[in-house]
Amino acid sequence: AQTVTQSQPEMSVQEAETVTLSCTYDTSESDYYLFWYKQPPSRQMILVIRQEAYKQQNATENRFSVNFQKAAKSFSLKISDSQLGDAAMYFCAYRGFISNFGNEKLTFGTGTRLTIIP
C-alpha cells in the first residue's frame, strides 16, 4: 500500500519570502501522480500543483513549484514570494496510475499548516 509522509506539522514564513514544504512517499509503482492541495480556513480543498511521475521536468504554477526526486521518492513544494493568502493547510497526495480500478483514490499525507508572518 502507498503511504505519504509530511514530516512538518507546522511551518511559518515571512511575507514575501520563500518556503519549502516536504513530502515523501512510498510506492512500488513506477508510474503515478503526485499532487499538492491547499486547504484554507474556508475548508475548501484547492489543487495547487500536480506532477506526473513519468515527467522528469518539475511542475510549476506561478509562485508554486515542486522538486520531484523520483529515486528518493520525494516531492517538495516551494512557495516563492509568500503572500498572506497562502496561509493554509497543505496536503501532499499520491494517486496510482490509471491501470486498474481502485487506483483512482488519493492517498494523503497528514498535512502541514503554513503560517505567513506579515
Partner 1 sequence: DTAVSQTPKYLVTQMGNDKSIKCEQNLGHDTMYWYKQDSKKFLKIMFSYNNKELIINETVPNRFSPKSPDKAHLNLHINSLELGDSAVYFCASSQDRASGAKETQYFGPGTRLLVL
Residues contributing to the site for partner 1 (CB under 8 A): 33, 35, 37, 39, 42-47, 50, 52, 89, 91, 95, 98, 101-102, 104-108, 110-111
* Shortest Å, Cβ 63 to partner 1: 19
Q: Which is nearer to partner 1, 15 or 31 (CB)?
A: 31
Query: How far apart are alpha carbons 83 and 1 in whole angstroms?
Result: 36
β-pairing, 46-52 with 32-39?
Answer: antiparallel
Q: Which is nearer to partner 1, 14 or 44 (CB)?
A: 44
Q: Which is nearer to partner 1, 16 or 98 (CB)?
A: 98
* Shortest Å, Cβ 16 to partner 1: 27
* Shortest Å, Cβ 111 to partner 1: 5
Q: Which is nearer to partner 1, 13 or 90 (CB)?
A: 90
The number of residues in the chain equals 118
User: Residue 84: phi, psi to the nearest 5?
Assistant: -55, -35
* Shortest Å, Cβ 37 to partner 1: 8
